[in-house]
Amino acid sequence: MKNVLLGRSAAELEDWAIAQGQKSFRGRQIHDWLYNKGVKSLSEITALPKQWRSELEAQTFGVGRLKLVHQSVAIDATTKLLLATDDGETIETVGIPTDQRLTVCVSSQVGCPMACRFCATGKSGFQRSLAIHEIVDQVLSIREAMDRRPSHIVFMGMGEPLLNSEAVLDTIGCLNTDLGIGQRRITVSTVGVPQTLPELAELAMERLGRAQFTLAVSLHAPNQQLREELIPTAHAYPYESLLNDCRHYLAVTGRRVSFEYILLGELNDKPEHAAELADQVGGFQSHVNLIAYNPIEEEEFKRPTSQRIETFRRVLERRGVAVSLRASRGLDQNAACGQLRRQHQLD
């Protein structure tokens, strides 16, 4: 559908309504129904004249919502949705609740070209990047499924956000302005694509006026050799070059960088790995987020023991590295990125 309204700002919808021969307030009405009421079709916007709604639908204008294919809810209330796009592709989004917040993990692409060995998304290949409305819809769909307003957004679902940076930044603008989610509550996660971090910093300042969202860089290894074993594309992006680009991003935006590190049992979770990682990021205005591996089929990686996780964390702390451990959620419902879509494809 080319004439999609979701993802447009109030000002854009006002201008569009005027171009359609209507008063500007019609654009504000549509904005309210799109973002506050979450309508899925123009026919639901009863505030608009019925004849105009029919004319718009005849001209192939539409809201741009996705179709729910499957919903699963884990014991801990983590909710995963499989959504279908207009061209028949499927994407995943996850709602992760706590008492104080609801975090939505959104996808930025259909599949992923990075092919990280520990990630289920890469096993299904890459199809295309998502449009703004397809990303925004994920947040609205979780809001509907869980009957709760999302408070935080993480671009950590399917895909590499920096290979779709313009749409990602425009989506951040939409989430911020149209859904009222502050930039400081939004995180963009990347595995690292050469030459994209400096561009992201400049583009964010240009498009958003400021870059207050959190940048999370997936390291998953303390050195180049081990990183290439886990992330095939890392051979084109030397470890030191990646860290230098992170420093440049920090200098331009003033925002510290968060480093993601998936702990794989007996592979990258040894005390010496923690010490080496501390040497790499030491003195850097950063934060390390440890994540225990969530097993997937087709790979023999193991989930680390609680003792090894705690030892790794303590080594980082003793060396002055700010560190936190992300709690695993939705393990009983295959909540790791790409697992639900992969299962659906194989059925």
Pure H helices in the chain:
10-19, 24-35, 50-58, 132-146, 165-178, 196-208, 224-230, 239-253, 271-281, 306-318, 339-346
Q: How many residues does the chain have?
A: 347
Pairing of strands 109-111, 102-105: unpaired
Report, as residue numbers or ranges, the catalytic residues. Answer: 92, 337
**φ, ψ at 35 (rounded to 5°):** -95, -35
Partners of 70 in the beta sheet? 82
Place of tokens 């992170």: 246
Instruction: Specify which residues 129 forms β-bridges with.
Output: 109
The helix/strand/coil state of 304 is coil
Cα distances (angstroms) measured from residue 238 to each of 36, 118, 335:
45, 20, 31
Among candidate residues 169, 156, 136, the one with its CA nearest the CA of residue 258: 156
| Contact (CB, 8 A) for 108 and 154 | no
74, 77, 82, 83 alpha-carbon torsion, rounded to 10°: 170
Integer angstrom CA distances of residue 54 from 23, 44, 45, 49: 17, 11, 11, 9
What secondary structure, in 3-state letters, does 44-113 show? HCCCCCHHHHHHHHHCCEECCCCEEEEEEECCCCCEEEEEECCCCCEEEEEEEECCCCEEEECCCEEECC
Q: Are 162 and 196 in contact (CB under 8 A)?
A: yes
φ, ψ at 345 (rounded to 5°): -65, -35
CB 309 within 8 A of CB 263: yes
